[in-house]
């Protein structure tokens, strides 16, 4: 459900997108989550990213998805998709724009 304030946070390390957090609500809090991730100085795991998002009000459990690229250690994909590699693309809706977007470079 889109409440008009979607949000996307992409976390990159050495220029490679390793984690994305998307929400259909609470997107206006993207900067708070991005700042919290920057403060840690590391790419968070899925549980930590979800917790940071929850604390900041970046989406609710029904509207938020956290996707991480594990570097090819799973059988599903040997390489991340072009959509995942694109820091501006939603992991859910492809190139659909987010109302609020942050990219964290670590």
pLDDT in tens, 68-94: 876 544 444 445 677 778 888 887 777
pLDDT at 85: 82
Q: Report the distance separating Cα 25 and Cα 5, nearest Å.
A: 5
The pLDDT of residue 34 is above 70: yes
Q: Indicate if the alpha-carbon torsion angle 84, 46, 53, 33 is positive or negative.
A: negative
- Crossing angle of helices 46-56 and 30-40, in 10° steps, is 130
Are residues 103 and 17 in contact, defined by beta-carbon separation less than 8 angstroms? no
Percent of the chain surpassing pLDDT 70 = 84
Query: Residue 83 corresponds to which tokens in the numbers above?
Result: 């959509």
């Amino acid at each position: 459900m889109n409440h008009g304030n979607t949000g996307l946070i992409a976390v990159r390390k050495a220029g490679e997108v390793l984690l994305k957090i998307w929400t259909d609500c609470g997107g206006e809090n993207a900067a708070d989550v991005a700042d919290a991730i920057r403060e840690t100085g590391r790419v968070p795991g899925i549980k930590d990213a979800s917790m940071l998002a929850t604390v900041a009000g970046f989406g609710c459990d029904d509207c938020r998805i956290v996707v991480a690229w594990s570097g090819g250690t799973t059988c599903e994909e040997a390489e991340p998709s072009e959509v995942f590699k694109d820091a501006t693309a939603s992991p859910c809706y492809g190139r659909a724009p987010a109302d609020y977007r942050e990219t964290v470079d670590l």
